[in-house]
Structure 1
């Protein structure tokens, strides 16, 4: 007891010195990590400043929010030998009779993400949950062998209960069902859908659970993918979570969105992404059935409709980092007439913004639709801070007056489109695990363009005068939060 009292007295006398030494040691270690592993100079300088000027707290924030710990872990947990080979190394590149000026883009695309472009796919637009959810639930009810579902948010509300019941019924009749939910996204609902599924015998897993006894988790890394695959015959991807809010006709706070029903050989690439995510989360390698065109009913009719050349682009803070950013840059280089973008959050980094401006300077028409009010006021302020910079060189931004449009679509000319889960912001492009379809098809582009024009009719254009009319206080607020845009 006497020794303890002496030790406590010594700490009381020297606590300032101890604190200073601890701060210097931790700050030095953290700053060295920033210098070695951060690529962006501005971000590195900001982190070092925070670490030095905010004793202990700055270092704590960096180790929690500033590190991509998944990169090395993913390589360890995703051994290449456990993956089916969808790569193209031993096969010549197939241009699928696409326009010649897109051939360099296809070559670059294979270099960015060595996965083959596949022909004979069908991509069907399902507008809002009113149309998408009944189709998805019907596919689950029709499942014979295997169902996999991945979602960022899976609310345990009236709509979520329909999915839970359909999945449980499939499991009960002998269908293998695997449901993967994000460890942070599951927290959006106070009733946990995975717990409800488990009680009914459905196998679930959480991707990077917020609390783990085996390793440290970081709340800035999230699985934002939305995937449903059934029997290797049908797949659904897009930006739509499982939530009553997407049933626009009956929702209290409706959310517009688009889901895409996919048939064709590209389904194998979609299910492979789920297989890898499930393996990462559980260590279990599942054997999902491959696409077989002979399993499809009315094969002749289906083939005549399957004209889309497509492939999956997956991205995340792992070995697939930056693949979506490079895919967008690659496509923007090939744009000849028009670029149309629908996104709930438009906060592009300098590289993407430069690519858009370069296209505009070549005379390409660039139109962007964002919500007039998103679900995150801070993001609205950041977008407002950037509007004047964005509309230079003739780029047009429209604010959709609908309650909130969560759609994520890119359309270039009459041939190329990009659909899936990715937003135009740092969170999607840096921290989230995302999945998109890169598509070539004039008929698909015509349908997407029609949807774009419908949304544009309900929008108002952003003008320079409107932005200049903001009060000084609003401009200060907007630009202050713009500094934190990579972490919103």
Structure 2
């Protein structure tokens, strides 16, 4: 007891020296980690500055938000023996009679992400939850063998309860149901959705739960994928969460969005992504049914050539970014981008400017007001840099538009869950479809044009006329764009 009292007294006398030594030691270790593992020079310098000039707090923020530990963890939990046949690099690259100008993109695309394009698919855009949700629920009701569902947000509102009820009924009639929810995203519903599903016997799992007794979790790494696959016959992917706000007709705070109904052999690639995510979250390897073609005759509706591009802070890091850069190099006439958050890094921005300098018409639609005000400020700070070389930006006057599509020329489409910001391209687990099809491209171009008619163009006079306090605010938040 006396020794303990002496220790307390010694600490009370020397606490300043102890704090300085601890801060110096922790800052040194943290800074060395930044130097060894961070690739971006600007963010590395910012982290080191924060660590040094914010004693303990800076180091705490770095270890919570600045480390990509999943990259090493995924290598351990995703051994290559679990990969399916479509990942085998021994398969020859297939061009599917696509225009020759895209052959180099397909070759380099296969190097970026060694998954072949497959033909005879259909991809149907379903605009807003008014159309998408009834189709998804009907497919759940029609399921006979297996359902897998992954969502970032699964609200337990009037819409969420419809999905809970449909999944529970499928389970009761003998269908195997697996539901994967993000560890942070499920908090939007106060964990009510997964509790309701578990109560009805539906198996659920959380991807990177905030609290874990087996490993340290980092709340900046999130599973942003939206996947619904049923029996290997039909799949749905896109950017649409499960929330009544996407039912625009009846919502108080409507969110425009688009989901895609997919049939064809590319479903096997979509379900494989879920299988890997489920294995990572639970250690359980599920056997999902493979796609079986019902007819050997190809129709015009089955003309989509597609493949999955998965991305995340693991072995698939940067694959969506490089896929976009790869496609932009091939653009000859037009590039159309629709995204809720447009904060591209310097490499992507340079690729867009390079295309514009070649005479490519580049149009970008963003919301006039997103659901994150400081992201709007960062986008506004970048407008003057973006519109150089003739790039056109439009602000959609509709309620918040969460749609995510990229269209190049008259054949290439890129759809899925990813945004054009650091959060999506650096820290989130995402899934997109790279598609070649003129009919799909035309449908999405029509949707893009319709939204552009409801938008206002960003012009230089508007940017230059902003009050000085807004310019300061916007550019201050722009400094933090790599972390948003």
Deviation at 1:188, TM superposition (A): 1.0
Structure 1: 5+ residue stretches without partners: none
> SS at 1:218's partner residue?
coil
> Residue 367 of structure 1 aligns with which residue?
363
| Aligned counterparts of 2:293 and 2:190: Cα–Cα separation in 1 | 42
> Residue 376 of structure 1 aligns with which residue?
372
> SS at 1:410's partner residue?
strand
| Aligned counterparts of 2:115 and 2:296: Cα–Cα separation in 1 | 27
> Residue 217 of structure 1 aligns with which residue?
217
Decide whether the 8 Å contact of 1:370 with 1:398 is kept in 2: yes
Deviation at 1:465, TM superposition (A): 0.5
Structure 2: 5+ residue stretches without partners: none
> Residue 102 of structure 2 aligns with which residue?
102
Deviation at 1:218, TM superposition (A): 0.8
Decide whether the 8 Å contact of 1:88 with 1:116 is kept in 2: no
The answer as to 2:229 corresponding to 1:229 is: yes
Greater displacement, 76-85 / 452-461 = 76-85
TM-score of the superposed pair, with normalisation by structure 2: 0.99
> Residue 385 of structure 2 aligns with which residue?
389
1:20-70 C-alpha deviation (Å, 9 max, x unpaired) = 110110000000000000001111111111111111111111000000000
Decide whether the 8 Å contact of 2:339 with 2:366 is kept in 1: yes
The answer as to 2:123 corresponding to 1:127 is: no
- Equivalent of 2:316, from 320, 326, 330? 320
Deviation at 1:2, TM superposition (A): 1.9
> Residue 406 of structure 1 aligns with which residue?
402
The answer as to 2:156 corresponding to 1:151 is: no
Question: How many residue pairs align between the two structures?
Answer: 484
Decide whether the 8 Å contact of 1:157 with 1:244 is kept in 2: yes
1:254-297 C-alpha deviation (Å, 9 max, x unpaired) = 00000000000000000000000000000000000000012xxx
The answer as to 2:339 corresponding to 1:336 is: no
> Residue 282 of structure 2 aligns with which residue?
282
| Aligned counterparts of 2:51 and 2:162: Cα–Cα separation in 1 | 48
| Aligned counterparts of 1:89 and 1:398: Cα–Cα separation in 2 | 41
1:335-389 C-alpha deviation (Å, 9 max, x unpaired) = 0000000000000000000000000000000000000000000100000000000
> Residue 348 of structure 1 aligns with which residue?
344
> Residue 302 of structure 2 aligns with which residue?
306
> SS at 1:95's partner residue?
coil
1:92-143 C-alpha deviation (Å, 9 max, x unpaired) = 2110010101000000000000001001100001000000000000000000
> Residue 35 of structure 1 aligns with which residue?
35
TM-score of the superposed pair, with normalisation by structure 1: 0.98
Distance 1:152 1:255, change over 3 A: same
Decide whether the 8 Å contact of 2:120 with 2:298 is kept in 1: no
Distance 1:123 1:391, change over 3 A: same
Deviation at 1:302, TM superposition (A): 7.0
| Aligned counterparts of 1:283 and 1:317: Cα–Cα separation in 2 | 19
Deviation at 1:87, TM superposition (A): 2.1
| Aligned counterparts of 2:191 and 2:47: Cα–Cα separation in 1 | 37
Moved over 3 A (4+): 299-304
Deviation at 1:486, TM superposition (A): 1.8
> SS at 1:417's partner residue?
strand
> Residue 238 of structure 1 aligns with which residue?
238
Q: How large is the RMSD of aligned CA atoms in angstroms?
A: 0.9
1:214-262 C-alpha deviation (Å, 9 max, x unpaired) = 1111110000000000000000000000000000000010000000000
Structure-to-structure mapping, 1:152-167, within 5 angstroms: 152-167=152-167
- Equivalent of 2:480, from 458, 473, 484? 484
1:285-327 C-alpha deviation (Å, 9 max, x unpaired) = 0000000012xxxx47874420000000000000000000000
Decide whether the 8 Å contact of 2:223 with 2:430 is kept in 1: yes
Decide whether the 8 Å contact of 1:160 with 1:244 is kept in 2: yes
The answer as to 2:63 corresponding to 1:63 is: yes
| Aligned counterparts of 2:437 and 2:345: Cα–Cα separation in 1 | 28
> SS at 2:87's partner residue?
coil
The answer as to 2:453 corresponding to 1:457 is: yes
| Aligned counterparts of 2:88 and 2:8: Cα–Cα separation in 1 | 66
> Residue 253 of structure 2 aligns with which residue?
253
Decide whether the 8 Å contact of 1:344 with 1:406 is kept in 2: yes
Distance 1:174 1:302, change over 3 A: farther
The answer as to 2:52 corresponding to 1:52 is: yes
